[in-house]
Every structure is written in C-alpha cells, then in structure tokens.
Amino acid sequence: MSLFKARDWWSATLGEGEEFDQGCLCVGDVDNSGTGHDKIVVGSYMGMLRIFSPRANKSSEGGPADAQLLEVQLQNAIIQVEVGKFVSCSDLLHLAVLHPRKLSVYCVSGTAGNVDHGDQYQLKLVYEHNLQRTACNMTYGTFGGVTGHQSLCIQSMDGMLMFFEQDSYSFGRFLPGFLLPGPLAYNPRTDSFLTVSSARQLESYKYETLAVATDAESRQDSDLPLRTGGKRLTPDWTFVLGEQALDVSVPSFSHSSSSILVLGERNLFCFRDNGQVRFMKKLECNSSCFLPFASDGTVKLLLSNHTNMLLVYQDVTLKWAAQLPFVPVAVRLANFPELKGVVVSLSSDGHLFCSYMGTDPSFFSTPKVDAREVDYEQVDVEMKKLQRFIREATRTQDILPKTNSLEDLSVTASVSSSLDKPSQALIQDIDGLPVPSVTVQVKVKANSALQSSKLSICVQPPLAVTQDQFVLEPMGVGSTKVVAFFAFLNGRYPPADLTGDIVVSYLLPTELNPKGVPRVLQSRFSLPLALVCVPSSPAKTTKFKVTVDTNQPPVDLSSIFREFSAKTEDKDGNSLAFQLLAGAKVTIQASKTSQRYRIQSDSFEDMWLVVKELIQRFDQHFSKLGIKDFKKSFSGPLPLQEYFLSVDNHFQMRVNAQQYQDLLSERAVQFRAIQRRLLTRFKDKTPAPLQNLDTLLDATYTQVMALAEAAEENRALLEQAFVRLRSATHLLVLLLSLWQGLPPNQTAILEATLLPLLQDTPQLGWEESCDAAVSHLLRSCLSRSPKDQATSLAHTGSPVLGLPQDTARLKKHITLLCDRIGKGGRLTLASEANVQVPAQIQNLAAPGGVEPIPEVAGDGEMEPPEEMTKFIKKKQPSKKVKKEKDSKEVSSDPSGGSLQEAGSRGEPFGETKREKKESSKSRKESKKDSSKDIKEPKEEAKKESKKESSSKEKKESSKEKREKDKEKEGNKAGKESGDIKVSRKSSVKVKEKKKEPEAAES
C-alpha cells in the first residue's frame, strides 16, 4: 500500500449503472474559449455525453453540478471521444464521437448568460458518417503529411481500417492475418499506423503503403491471388510481444525523442520508430491504463494498475507512487484555471476523479501516557471478557445451522394400505397378470423458514414412480406441503428391494448467510409385497428350498399374511403361495409338528422378498404378543452353489458386454476406413471403379447397427442379472446371519462386503469390488492368527481393480468367508487397531519392506503371487544346503561344538527350540495347503533344488573344514556363530531332521 495518496482536487459520480472504458475520456479546449484551459469530455456506453469544467472543491459552492457544462443523451453507445481539427474549412477544435455504426463530428459552442443563470452551451452536428462495419476504436492525425487539419482512421471489428478526410470517405484496407482487433495509434514522425495483432506482435503499416495497396471491397484470403491491380499489404516492421497489449501510445511532444510505448498485461515496452527496443520494464501487478506526458529527452509516463496505484515512471525508474480510490480505465493530464497538470482518471463505473501529487503534514501528536501502576486483576478480568466476546463472534452457529433436537424439517411418508383402482402402471399386465400400483403420500412440515426446497424420490429398478422430482415453494414456520405419487412395477423381473428413499434439499437462512445454508434430509418408505406378487396355489415340487427354525409354536400363515389369505385355497393356514408378477412361484409351508417353516421355489433369487417379508412379519407378530425371547435360525447347509449360479450369470453378461464393445470398436474403425477410401475415390478427378467399397460399406453399417442393438439388449439383460444377483446376495446374507446369529452390526458389515455397489459401471463391477472386500476381511478380522493379520496390515500396495478372467477366485473367497464365519469368526472393523504388530512385521511395514499379501487359495491359506513364488524357488535350495551343512558340522563335532554352547545357556536355547518346532509346523501346514494349486511349480522347484544342492555341496566341502577348525578354538566369535547356526535350523522341515544323522556319518 502506498505511503502517499492522490490529493482530491475535484470529483464527480456520473450516472447510475453506466459503463465506461478506455476511449470514453478525453480533455481539451473543446469549446474554443481561447484561454488555453481544458474541459473534460466523457462518453458512456449508455450514450450519455457530458462536458465538465472542474473547479476546486469549496463548501460554499454547489459541487459537480456547477462544473458540468453540457449533458446530452445520444441515441447510440459511445465507444470513443476525441478532440481535434476535424473540419477542413475551420481551425477550431471539434469533438469526434465514435458509435458502433456511426462517426459524428460536433461543434461545442457557449453563449454568455445575461442573468444569474450562467453560460449556455450547445452541441451542433457538423457532419457524420454511417459505417458499413461495426467499429472498435479510432485514431487521428495529419495522415500523409497534410497540415492544417486532421484526418480520422477507424478500425472495425473484422480488421478493416477506414480512412476519413473530414466529411469524405477516403479508402479502406483489411489488415492481413486479422482475427481480433487490438489498440490502434498513429505515428506522425514516420506517417505510419501501429497496432497489435492477434499473434501478439506489434505491427507498423505506412500510410503510403495502405494507400497504394489492393482496394478492399471484401475480405480476401492472403493465400489467394489478387483479383485487381495494386500491391499486397504487408507491415513495414513487426515485433513479437508475447502478450496481449492494452494500449499503444506515440508521444508527439518532441521530434527529437522518438518513442513508441506499448502497455502489455505484465510488461511495458518502449520502441524506436524503426522497431528497435529501447527498453522493457517488467511490471509487478496487472496494469489497467497508462499515459506518456511531456519530458526533456526522457520518457515519462503515468501508469495505473489493479491495486489502485498510480505510478510515475521516468524511463524504467519509479519516481512516485500514489494511491487512488479505484482502478482507473483511462488517465489524462489537464490544465485548469486554478491548477495545471491535474491528473484526470475515470473508473469503469463512472467515478471521475481529478487529483494532484503531494502530501499533507501530520499534525497528530502522541498524547502523554499516565504513569500509573497496572492492576493485573482488572486486566485479567478484561482479558477474559474480551476472549468470551471473541469466542461468541467466531462461532459457526450463525454460519452453519445449529443441530437442535428439533429438526428444521420433518418428512412423513404414508403408503396406502390398498392398491389403486384403476392401476396407474405403465405396463398393464405381465404374462396375463395385471400390474397394480399403490399411492404414496409425503407430508413435509417446516419448523423454520426454508427456501429452494426440492423433493426427490428414488426407488430401486424395476420399480418406478409417476413423478420423482417435486419443487416446493418457500416455506414459513409451521407450513405444510403434501405431495402424492404412484409406485408400480415397470419391468419384467422382480426387484431386489421394496424400499424407497425420499431426499429433501433446502436452504436454511442464517444471520451471516441470508441466502441460506444448504441442508439435506432423508427418509425411507416401504412398498407392500402385494405390489409385485399375487396369491397362488402351492407348488409341491421345486428346485430350491430354505428352512427357517423358530423357538415358538407354529403360527397360522393366514394370520400373518392377511391380504393374501382371502384368495388362497388352503384353509388350514399351513401353506401359502405367492406368484411373482415377473418371476417364479414361491411357496411357504409350516410344519404341523415342529417349529419349522420351509420356503421353496424354482428360482433361488425370487425367494428373497418372501423370506424377508416372512421374517419381518414374524418379528412384528411376536412383539405384539409380548414375547421377547423369540429367536429364529437357519440350520444349513448354505446354498452356495445356487448362489454361484447368479454370480456366473452376471459375470457372463459382463463378459458379453465387453465383447460387444470390442466388436463395435473394430467395426467402427473399419467403417471409418472404408469411408476414407470412398471419399478419396470421389475426390479423384479421374473416375475409378469403387471395387465394391459401397457394398462393403453397407455391410459394415449393417453389422454396426446389429452389434449396437445386441449390445443394448445385453445391457438390459445385465441390469436384470445384477438385480437378481442383489436379491440372491441379500438372501445369502440373511441366511448367514440366521445361521450364526450375527448381531445387526456384523450383518451390516457382511452386507456391505458382499454388496459394495448399488449398480454396475463399465469401470468398476461387482465381482472385483466384492473380491477386494472379502479378501480384506479374510486378511483382517477373519485371519487365522494375529501374526497373519498384522502381516496383512503391513502391505500397502493393491492391484488395480478390473474385470477378472473368471469367477473361480471369487467363489473360493466367498466359500472361505462362510467357512470362517461358521467356525466362530466375527466381523468387526475395530479389530485392526487391536492387533499387536510383532517387531519383525514392523520392520516389514516400512515403505518398500514387503510385497502385497496374496489372496487365499486351497484350504484357506494365502496363495503367493508370481513374484513371491519366484523368490521361494530360488531361496529354498540354498536353505536346504545350509541346513544340511549345519547338521554336518553339529554331528561331526565330538564335544558337541556349538550345540553344547547354545545349550549351556539354558532358557534361551529352550525358547529357540520351541520357535523351531512352531515355525516348522506352520510351514508344513502352509505348504500342504498351497500344494493343491501350485503342484507343477513345486515339482520344477524340487528338480532345480536337487541340481543346485548337488553342485553347492561340492563347492562348500572345502569351506566346511575351515569352519570346523574355527569352532574348535572356542572363542567368542565361535560362540556367536554357534548361536546363528542353531537359529537357522528353525526353518528346517521335519523330514530334514531325520536325515541329519545320515549326513553326519557321511
């Protein structure tokens, strides 16, 4: 921020809502008073022309109103105003006003008043030119060296320079390579025009070159030959700026100092008349406008930027800086009767400010401080009071709404107990069965003022609603809105869920945020089972059966399902059948002697809705009776094979979709290649036979359309398969929770694991997502030992999820998940934090310390990846050789060698021995489990190990003798080496222990 401010001499605010730009300000003796004092001329985009003669601000005078000489409303927007000698028969100054489609030259004249009303000023039109093209800016000067009057040059928006000599039009020329208009200036020393093109380069065109160039009646391409006589228009010189220019100025106060100034966005350039760079200044802030002014041999200029600063430069040296109250778009220097060299600045919103440079002395004197003792208790009380004020002021309760116990909005959904008559469903019947609909009413009650409320309804496919979006009017305190819609089945397959979601978004205004803070409220409703099925006769033979056990006497099914019992044929209430509108028949049979209920159907997925409804109605029925110890269970076995049929069906649909996509891509590439060939043939001037390309094009088009239709049909089948898979997964989760009596929190974890997605996407599908989630559970809370769990926590890398090759791996993981849950495993997300990671695992957990833990295989142990199997193959033979070598050394020593030394230590050796036994047992079990999947690699590894062991035994025979001599010495180094040998034996198999005496005798 500047230390000095521009001193306010006179200011005014021009209109309301008007806009101004760079060319809307000029100064000069426009009324030809002869005193040499300037007037300020301002034009706006609204067409308002104002002329001021400022005076110093005095409290006794009327202010800006007394300084305003003229105010005229013109019909068109004012782009630029200039003062000059624009009339040939007069030496007086005239005012040129540029409109988008017109150039007008006015004469401003004043008449002295006879009474106290003051002088009167008039604006008279001298001549005007109607432009054929939309104007952008203009410049003026003595074009061609003519003296006594000045001509005008206007640049149009499409790049044409139009020249006017007073009241006549001279000629027009198009600039070559034009795209967007830039600033325009005239250099009287070289009689040339300067502009900045869209290529961000400064270009200079001589007036003589423009005059003799090709006449421009219409815009021509520079690459085409000239249609008429004349020379091609080329710039005299160019210079690449590298940035867009805001303004170009040519100071004409001295012919000795030739300078061309260009103001860029971040740089200031100064050139000589021949295009050579005099200097360049890098600016610290984005500039807005500039103005060179008179100097003696040096370049001086005023430059303003977007930080409200007015900078005075002499060449590249900053001489002064002043603070302005706004960002100016135009700056001029003017001489007034009371003050010369006044800086006139104009902002984009109409603030006209006349100022001068300088400072005022400061008369402030620091008051004397009373030398009194500080009362620390009073200061402490005041500090606590101020801190309390700060806490209250910085709280977010006024910005974000408070979470009170009373909600700002309450949403209540009520589903009609009876079906609609007539039905509002889009599909009237499915396989001869009428499709019903049900009415749902949603009541929204506001407890505070709300704005922009929107209500959205979401149901799972193939369910649909008549309207899913509602826009609510602004609601006051206590106001209520009720909306209604119809829900129905809109597909030929049963849904996976009969619940729907209601989402209300609204804005809650606060004191600090009057527009409102966005908030969202959710609610849920359940549709009746009668919406998707009708009562039917029970089926005796079915493919799939599920049995649910209870601890209460059997219940009459007709009392549980009252809406279906009226139309059933069974009067005893022991059986009830449901015919799904777009699915199979589901039958419920209650045992007369035991407390069991059997649900059977020809479709495994279709049983889900009926089983879920049965469980829910059992809970409601026994809770009404006051029975608190009601329990339900499932004795198994789990129908995994039936579930895997749904998994395979969904996976096959995904594979088909990928194949259709690949075929479509190939046919599309082929289609475009044939099109290119045909276009080449058609463009050829010499006709050539098509060689059946048209027939091939038609056949390819037919294939593309057929593949697209097949892909669309497969997409619909994929959606149906995913809904069926969701139903089967829900049923499997329910049976698992009944089988093991899982609490709700574990059931939620299991459901989130097996159903990580609500819908398939081309980038991420259900199979890979479910596989990753199940693998995580097997590694964490369902791992066999804390060590395995900690090892799984150590790895950080994970492969990119993608479509697997088959579902064998996923099935294996799901089977293992069910097996471990059946053996007492419990699902929890907090188990990872409770595991104590061993020291060796912590070392592995460092970055780059361990590879990703492989997935499970075989009987439940982790299957090593390819990189790890290679590592094991290479390391196993060397370990065997080392163990055999150690066993030879220990057995050949008559005094016991290092074995006695290690055994003399007592408990450490015992612990080492126990670790050896445990590690050998675990390694044996892991290798037995993994042998089912990697038999062939193991056989190859054994062959390689035999070859390597035989070769290494020969090489190491000489080293064994040296090590025996070192062991006999009995020094400390020998003891340490003995300890190492004993610890290495911890990884030897049981079979190798039996071979140790044989190796020692040899």
Query: At residue 741, what is the residue type?
Result: G
* Residue 902 CB-density burial (10 A; 0-12 exposed, 13-18 middle, 19+ buried): buried
Give the model confidence (pLDDT) of 159-169 as tens digits: 999 999 988 89
**Total H helices, total E strands in the chain:** 21, 46
User: Cβ–Cβ contacts within 10 Å for residue 152, how many?
Assistant: 24
To 5 degrees, how large is the angle CA 57–CA 63–CA 64?
A: 110
- Give buried/exposed letters for 205-225 (b at 16+ CB in 10 A, else e): bbbebbeebbebeeeeeeeee
Query: At residue 410, what is the residue type?
Result: S
What is the enclosing helix (H) or strand (E) of 109? strand 102-111
How does residue 998 score in pLDDT terms, banded at 50, 70 and 90? very low
How does residue 184 score in pLDDT terms, banded at 50, 70 and 90? very high
The predicted pLDDT at position 254 comes to: 57
Chain position carrying tokens 């060449």: 315
The CATH number, out of the four listed (3.30.70, 3.30.310, 1.25.40, 1.10.10), of the domain defined by the range 535-634: 3.30.310
Q: What separation in angstroms does the CA of 713 have from each of 613, 648, 706, 839? A: 32, 19, 11, 57
pLDDT above 80: residue 304:
yes
Most confident of 445-454, 717-726, 876-885, 888-897: 717-726
Give the model confidence (pLDDT) of 722-779 as tens digits: 999 999 999 999 998 888 888 888 888 888 888 888 777 878 888 888 888 888 888 8
User: Cβ–Cβ contacts within 10 Å for residue 124, how many?
Assistant: 9
SS3 907: helix
Contact 795, 848 (CB under 8 A): no
How does residue 219 score in pLDDT terms, banded at 50, 70 and 90? low
Contact 301, 261 (CB under 8 A): yes
Mean pLDDT computed over 961-989 = 43
Query: If we measure between CA atoms, which residue out of 558, 598, 605, 614 comes closest to residue 582?
Result: 605
pLDDT above 80: residue 450:
yes
CA distance 484 to 414: 10
Q: What are the domain boundaries of the chain?
A: 5-57+64-216+233-358, 409-529, 535-634, 640-789+802-822
Mean pLDDT computed over 559-585 = 76
DSSP class of residue 741 equals T
Structure tokens at 922: 């675990």
Among the residue ranges 292-306, 420-434, 619-633, 896-910, the one predicted with the least confidence is 896-910
CA distance 696 to 680: 16
Task: Say yes or no: do domains 5-57+64-216+233-358 and 535-634 share a fold.
Answer: no
Structure tokens at 730: 């829900």
To 5 degrees, how large is the angle CA 920–CA 874–CA 999?
A: 55
High-pLDDT (> 70) share of the chain, %: 73
CA distance 469 to 503: 10
The CATH number, out of the four listed (3.30.565.10, 2.40.30.60, 3.40.50.300, 2.130.10.10), of the domain defined by the range 5-57+64-216+233-358: 2.130.10.10
pLDDT above 80: residue 697:
yes
Among the residue ranges 51-65, 187-201, 522-536, 823-837, the one predicted with the least confidence is 823-837
The predicted pLDDT at position 239 comes to: 94
Give the model confidence (pLDDT) of 636-684 as tens digits: 788 888 889 999 999 999 999 999 999 999 999 999 999 998 888 888 8
Among the residue ranges 11-25, 324-338, 415-429, the one predicted with the least confidence is 415-429
Chain position carrying tokens 């990671």: 837
Contact 244, 265 (CB under 8 A): yes
Give the model confidence (pLDDT) of 82-124 as tens digits: 999 999 888 889 999 999 999 999 999 887 765 555 678 888 9
Phi, psi of 169 (to 5 degrees): -90, 125
Q: What is the CATH number of domain 409-529?
A: 2.60.40
CA distance 92 to 96: 13
To 5 degrees, how large is the angle CA 510–CA 516–CA 522?
A: 110
Most confident of 148-162, 285-299, 549-563: 148-162
The predicted pLDDT at position 15 comes to: 83
The predicted pLDDT at position 573 comes to: 62
CA distance 915 to 904: 18
pLDDT above 70: residue 918:
no
Contact 10, 40 (CB under 8 A): no
- Measured in whole angstroms, how far is the alpha carbon of residue 604 from the centre of its chain? 41
Q: How confident is the prediction for the chain on average, in pLDDT?
A: 77
Query: If we measure between CA atoms, which residue out of 800, 761, 773, 806 comes closest to residue 651?
Result: 806
The predicted pLDDT at position 914 comes to: 45
Q: First-to-last CA distance in the chain?
A: 94
